[in-house]
Structure 1
Amino acid sequence: MKKFARMAPATVAALVVGLALTSCTDSGQDKENKAKQDNYDHLVAQQPAGRMEYSPTREAINQWIKTWGKRGKLSYVYIQNANGEYGYFIMKGLPVPRCKMLTPTERVESSSNGVAVLAQPGMDGTYTSGSTCNAYYGFDATTGAYMEFTVGTNQSFFLFDKPMTMPEYASAKQLGPTSVKDVGQQP
């Protein structure tokens, strides 16, 4: 007990010196971050977030899960080019952006010098900048053929879980091996 009593004044003195040094070294950025946090706390106290009785967003996400969470579900991908013309692919499952990975793309390392975020190679042993998010790929519904397409630069795609009958889609040209007639009306 006496040992603790002797340490207490030294600990208090070190704490006071440490706090004094910290307050002297606050950067402008630290002060602005504190002001931003203080303002946020004030606004939350004055205007707390409302409470919803029902979430349409959660319902939509759950419906998405019901729609696409089944093995064998087909997707109908309609592509519109710069001239307003439509074509379509029928794929097994959803088209996947090429920037999606099954393994982490970064690793965080901490040391006494700070924190570093290091890039990790993909499954093919190469590194990517993540710039392939406008390229999508998938597999044809009947042949399993690999298909890839890009969006942007006057090309858009529209994704449905069944064939569309609206005029612009009904006259779309078949772009892949499988036609709507080949798969019929899959549920």
Structure 2
Amino acid sequence: MSARRTLLITAPLLAAVLLLSGCGPAADPKSTSKPTGTPRPTASSSATPAADPNASNAPQVETGEPVGLSCNDVVTPQQVYDYNPNFGLVDGFVPENGSLAAQAVAANGLACRWMNQTSGATIDVSVAHLDARSNEIRKEFLASNSTSVSSFGPDGYFDQGDVGSAAQAFPGEFWVTAASVAFFTAEDAVAIMDNVTAAAG
């Protein structure tokens, strides 16, 4: 038999042997590996501050007067205890950029945070004493982009986000907000908002 004929017969046999023996491209171990251990909690856990649904689109307030209130004035320790004894005031709270609380602080307002010591859920409250024009601009924006509710007074609004909800109201010349993952409906925010609007008004 010629060498050429032997080569033609041997090549297919060799390919078949290699195929059957499993020689070929190695399987990607990532495609079959299973996760081990318990996943670590990420920044999206319940300790994450509540989302402010209107924060990215709301008009920025540029003017305002100091409110002359402290966090213990807008929601007293007893009122917090009555709402939920697991919540405690967070010292040195600095609101996230773009949040409703940060906008209030930019207008010489006050921002406060209470945290549930068990779950890590937070409630962010802010109060700002706005000039008349800033108040009207914000009300007009909310009237077109938010859900009007009567729970917080004649100018009350409530919006649900992916990881929290925000309540807003305008008692007198003040703009007050409360944002939390604990607010599933407007009614969940009423107790806190009543305290804040009473203190501001």
Asked if Structure 1 and Structure 2 have the same fold, meaning a TM-score greater than 0.5 normalized by the shorter chain, the answer is: no
Higher fraction of strand: 1
Question: Computing the radius of gyration over CA atoms, which structure comes out larger, 1 or 2?
Answer: 2
